[in-house]
Amino acid sequence: MNKSSPTPVSPGAKLNWAWDWSAWLEDGDAIQSHEITVDAGLTLVGTSTAVGAVISCVLQVAADIAQYQAVSATCRITTTAGLIDSRAIYMLPSQQ
Protein backbone atom coordinates (compact mmCIF):
# COMPACT_ATOMS: atom_id res chain seq x y z
CA MET A 1 0.00 0.00 0.00
CA ASN A 2 1.33 3.42 -0.77
CA LYS A 3 0.87 6.75 0.95
CA SER A 4 -1.20 8.14 -1.92
CA SER A 5 -3.96 5.58 -1.33
CA PRO A 6 -4.31 4.98 2.41
CA THR A 7 -6.92 2.59 3.77
CA PRO A 8 -10.00 4.39 5.10
CA VAL A 9 -10.67 3.68 8.79
CA SER A 10 -13.09 5.02 11.37
CA PRO A 11 -11.89 6.98 14.40
CA GLY A 12 -11.79 4.55 17.32
CA ALA A 13 -11.42 1.51 15.04
CA LYS A 14 -9.52 -1.47 16.48
CA LEU A 15 -8.31 -3.69 13.65
CA ASN A 16 -6.00 -6.57 12.79
CA TRP A 17 -3.13 -5.70 10.43
CA ALA A 18 -0.48 -7.91 8.86
CA TRP A 19 2.70 -7.60 6.83
CA ASP A 20 3.42 -10.64 4.66
CA TRP A 21 7.13 -10.81 3.85
CA SER A 22 7.01 -14.20 2.07
CA ALA A 23 7.49 -12.75 -1.44
CA TRP A 24 10.42 -10.63 -0.22
CA LEU A 25 12.36 -13.28 1.74
CA GLU A 26 14.95 -15.28 -0.15
CA ASP A 27 14.89 -19.09 0.01
CA GLY A 28 16.40 -20.29 3.28
CA ASP A 29 16.10 -16.88 4.97
CA ALA A 30 13.70 -16.17 7.83
CA ILE A 31 12.64 -13.29 10.01
CA GLN A 32 14.88 -13.13 13.05
CA SER A 33 13.35 -10.07 14.71
CA HIS A 34 10.78 -7.39 14.05
CA GLU A 35 9.62 -4.06 15.45
CA ILE A 36 6.33 -2.20 14.94
CA THR A 37 6.29 1.59 15.26
CA VAL A 38 3.18 3.76 15.03
CA ASP A 39 2.39 7.42 14.45
CA ALA A 40 0.65 9.56 17.04
CA GLY A 41 -3.05 8.77 16.78
CA LEU A 42 -2.43 5.01 16.61
CA THR A 43 -1.87 2.55 19.42
CA LEU A 44 -0.32 -0.91 19.18
CA VAL A 45 -2.67 -3.08 21.24
CA GLY A 46 -0.82 -5.88 23.03
CA THR A 47 2.17 -7.36 21.26
CA SER A 48 2.84 -8.17 17.64
CA THR A 49 3.33 -11.77 16.55
CA ALA A 50 5.42 -13.49 13.92
CA VAL A 51 4.23 -16.69 12.25
CA GLY A 52 6.55 -17.73 9.48
CA ALA A 53 6.92 -14.74 7.15
CA VAL A 54 3.85 -12.88 8.45
CA ILE A 55 4.00 -10.23 11.18
CA SER A 56 0.61 -9.31 12.63
CA CYS A 57 -0.75 -6.98 15.27
CA VAL A 58 -3.84 -5.13 16.44
CA LEU A 59 -3.88 -1.37 15.95
CA GLN A 60 -6.34 1.09 17.43
CA VAL A 61 -7.09 4.48 15.91
CA ALA A 62 -7.64 7.25 18.47
CA ALA A 63 -11.31 8.09 18.85
CA ASP A 64 -10.53 11.81 18.78
CA ILE A 65 -8.17 11.77 15.78
CA ALA A 66 -8.69 14.53 13.24
CA GLN A 67 -10.52 13.40 10.13
CA TYR A 68 -8.37 12.96 7.04
CA GLN A 69 -5.13 13.03 9.06
CA ALA A 70 -3.18 10.15 7.51
CA VAL A 71 -1.33 7.96 10.00
CA SER A 72 0.95 4.99 9.53
CA ALA A 73 2.34 1.90 11.20
CA THR A 74 5.72 0.54 10.14
CA CYS A 75 7.07 -2.98 10.44
CA ARG A 76 10.87 -3.27 10.41
CA ILE A 77 12.41 -6.72 10.14
CA THR A 78 15.88 -8.20 10.38
CA THR A 79 16.44 -11.61 8.79
CA THR A 80 18.71 -14.48 9.76
CA ALA A 81 20.88 -13.52 6.75
CA GLY A 82 21.28 -10.00 8.17
CA LEU A 83 18.96 -8.23 5.71
CA ILE A 84 16.92 -5.30 7.07
CA ASP A 85 13.85 -3.64 5.59
CA SER A 86 10.70 -1.73 6.57
CA ARG A 87 7.18 -1.56 5.18
CA ALA A 88 4.48 0.91 6.21
CA ILE A 89 0.70 0.80 6.07
CA TYR A 90 -1.18 4.06 5.83
CA MET A 91 -4.63 4.79 7.19
CA LEU A 92 -6.94 7.75 6.66
CA PRO A 93 -9.47 8.26 9.48
CA SER A 94 -12.83 9.53 8.31
CA GLN A 95 -16.46 9.30 9.38
CA GLN A 96 -17.93 6.65 7.11
pLDDT by 10s per residue, the chain, length 96? 445 589 999 999 999 999 999 999 999 999 999 999 999 999 999 999 999 999 999 999 999 999 888 999 999 999 999 999 999 999 999 876
Neighbours of 38 (CB within 10 A): 15
CATH 2.60.40.10 matches 7-93: yes
The pLDDT value recorded for residue 78 is 98
Residue 94, CA distances (Å) to 44, 63, 85 in order: 20, 11, 30
CA dist., res. 88 & res. 74, Å (int): 4
pLDDT of residue 2: 46
DSSP per-residue letters across 24-44: TSPTT--EEEEEEEE-TTEEE
Q: Within the chain, what is the greatest distance between any pair of CA atoms?
A: 45
Question: Taking the model in full, what pTM does it have?
Answer: 0.90
Q: Count CA atoms closer than 13 A to 4's CA, side-chain side.
A: 0
Q: Where are the domains of the chain?
A: 7-93
